[in-house]
Chains A and B, each alone.
Chain A
Amino acid sequence: MSDIWVVVEERDGRVSRISWEAVAAGQKLAALTGLAVNAVAVGAHVEQLAVEIAAKALSKVVRVEHALLAAYTADGFTLALQQLFESEKPDYVVFSHTYQVRDYAPKLAARLGQVLIGDVIAIGDGPIFTRQLMQGRLSGSYRHLGNGPCFVSVQAGAFRADEAQAGVAQVSVFSPTIEAVQIRTKPSERFRGTAQTVDLGSAQLIVSVGRGIKDPEHIPLVQELATALGAELGASRPICDNGWLPMERQIGSSGQTVSPKLYLAVGISGAIQHLVGMKGSQCVAAINKDPAAPIFEVADYGIVGDLFEVVPALTDAVKAAKQ
């Protein structure tokens, strides 16, 4: 059998939202290639997930179940899917590009002599897979040449979850052979870092600061603008990595996800890890000295210039407008 397999993840007992995006990507690939699409869920007991997935337009849904798959481990998931795919011989395997997938999909692909095309933002005729290069400054078109499955993971938000078409699929169970000694890592339950006292998720206005600010002593410049606007202050990862603002103000894949009315990005180039945390914003404005900065690809309004001149001028203009 040659077809497309979508690997689905759970979140709080349900199919994760980004998994539906992967299903939509699988269906897009099916439209381009004429192949059938199947889905697979991996765990100790994934019956409920399988029922949920089977309500989509898929040929079949497989529950890959084993007691040793209760908690995610790279060893366990790789072994389980290796066995499934060695028997099913897929043409394509589609994942959502989550931290979990980043941890094991390259290993699984390598075990089968393949290379994952990761973090894909578009799929076109060929099929050609588009992914970002140079932190989003450039795009690369990738093609798979190998004999064997083509492994692809799709970036959050690149495909629309609500475009996964409804249908009825057959569900079956696959029982991989796994022994306890084959699982070499021992994961703990997940935990929160520090107590969250700042809820940027519900903020209406956010001014966010990035690497362009250069030095912690310049942060007050941006804080003044935020205060003038009545906005919360956010930051990109490097600012929090350096300890210039607390981690709880970090916006992006590893920090908070925000969707304010206005997101004003100051000195943020717009690496994808940041963009996934703020692209749901209603209006995005950006100030950056580099006209090629990827933040301008998602911005409604942009000022190309020196933030040390623009930010104070903007603070004054906001104050004047409020009088």
Chain B
Amino acid sequence: MKIIVAIKQVPERDAQVRIDSQAKWIEEAGLQWALNESDAYALEEALQLKEKHGGEVVVLTAGPERVGSTIREALAKGADRAIHIDCADLGNRDALGVARLLAAAVKPENPDLVLTGLQSDDLGLGQTGVIVAELLGLPHSSLILHVEKTNTGLTVKRELEEGWFQTIELPTPAVLTIQSGGNKLRYATLMGIKRAKTKEVRTLRAAELAPDVAPVVVLERVTLPTKQKSTQILPGTAKEAAAALVEKLKFEARVL
């Protein structure tokens, strides 16, 4: 089975993010970067499918030069090769614009399966995989926790709301967006890190993949969220704050 895993590099979870001077996005200088969490699960699912059925795992990502570190991480975990869509202005593209780039890179590869995380931890659009499927004319299913290969295609377990699930049968080639938690993530081994250095990373230029189309949807301004409640922050040492909280819960909120 030939599997392409579309991954994204995002700011590290605990990174202190600041709004940039134009209030268009965040200040990227000095940020630590990481592999998007649900994409890590998509990669893990792909690696396990390859271990069971053989084939090839190709990681695909779009972004500026810095995404190279995330590509190396994926290769070190066991992906066979990588495709890097060199694109410095990813943020100026809407979900359709990004999906056009990815779809154009996927198409000549003719994979059996395209996996991606269900959403990114930065923009949180949760659409890219679904749109890639539409652009490639492939069937898809989203929020997938488990993938099984059958004689005719795939049987997948899809998460629904409030603790419900559903299984879905679909033919291959197909696109799946992967929910976190379906597998246990592996760490890169020392050997894996060493091997990653010799694996192929092919760079494609965004301009050669898809014509620059004006975005349909634009992010005009980034702001701090408006508070829904006025939070009383309890100051002092751990002990003082804890005592104050019990006092508030008992006599002000009256919930204890």
Which A residues have a C-beta under 8 Å from some C-beta of B? 74-75, 98-99, 102-104, 106-107, 109-111, 113-119, 128, 131-146, 148, 184-193, 196, 205, 211, 229, 237-238, 240-241, 243, 247-248, 253-257, 261-262, 272, 282-286, 290-292, 294, 296-306, 309-310, 313-314, 316-318, 320-321
> Chain B residues near A143 (CB, 8 Å)?
217-218, 220
Q: Which of A115, A229, A282, A321 contacts B95 (CB 8 A)?
A: A115
Q: Which of A186, A193, A255, A302 contacts B168 (CB 8 A)?
A: A186
Closest 9 CB pairs of A and B: A241-B181, A146-B216, A106-B127, A313-B242, A309-B238, A184-B139, A314-B242, A262-B255, A186-B169
Are B216 and A144 closer than 8 Å at their CB atoms? yes
> Chain A residues near B227 (CB, 8 Å)?
297
Contact with A along B143-154 (1 / 0, CB 8 A): 100000000000
Are B231 and A115 closer than 8 Å at their CB atoms? no
Count, chain B residues at interface, CB 8 A: 79
Q: A74-B140, A106-B131, A113-B216 are in contact. Are A132 and B248 (CB under 8 A)?
A: no
Q: Which residue of B lies closest to A294 (CB)?
A: B225
Are B165 and A190 closer than 8 Å at their CB atoms? yes
Q: A110-B96, A237-B181, A283-B253 are in contact. Are A188 and B167 (CB under 8 A)?
A: yes
Are B229 and A300 closer than 8 Å at their CB atoms? yes
| B199 at the A interface (CB under 8 A) | no
Bound: A300/B215 CA distance, A: 40
Bound: A138/B223 CA distance, A: 6
Bound: A196/B163 CA distance, A: 9
A103, A104, A272: most-surrounded residue (chain B CB, <10 A): A103
Bound: A132/B125 CA distance, A: 10
Say what secondary structure dominates the interface of chain B. Answer: mixed
Q: A107-B134, A141-B219 are in contact. Are A102 and B256 (CB under 8 A)?
A: no
> Chain A residues near B226 (CB, 8 Å)?
139
Bound: A313/B158 CA distance, A: 42
- The stretch from B13-21, B60-68, B73-81 touching chain A is B13-21
> Chain B residues near A113 (CB, 8 Å)?
96, 216
| B135 at the A interface (CB under 8 A) | yes
Q: A134-B11, A135-B124, A302-B231 are in contact. Are A103 and B141 (CB under 8 A)?
A: yes
Bound: A131/B234 CA distance, A: 29
CB of A216 to closest CB in B, whole Å: 13
Are A304 and B256 closer than 8 Å at their CB atoms? no
Contact with A along B21-44 (1 / 0, CB 8 A): 000001000000000000000000
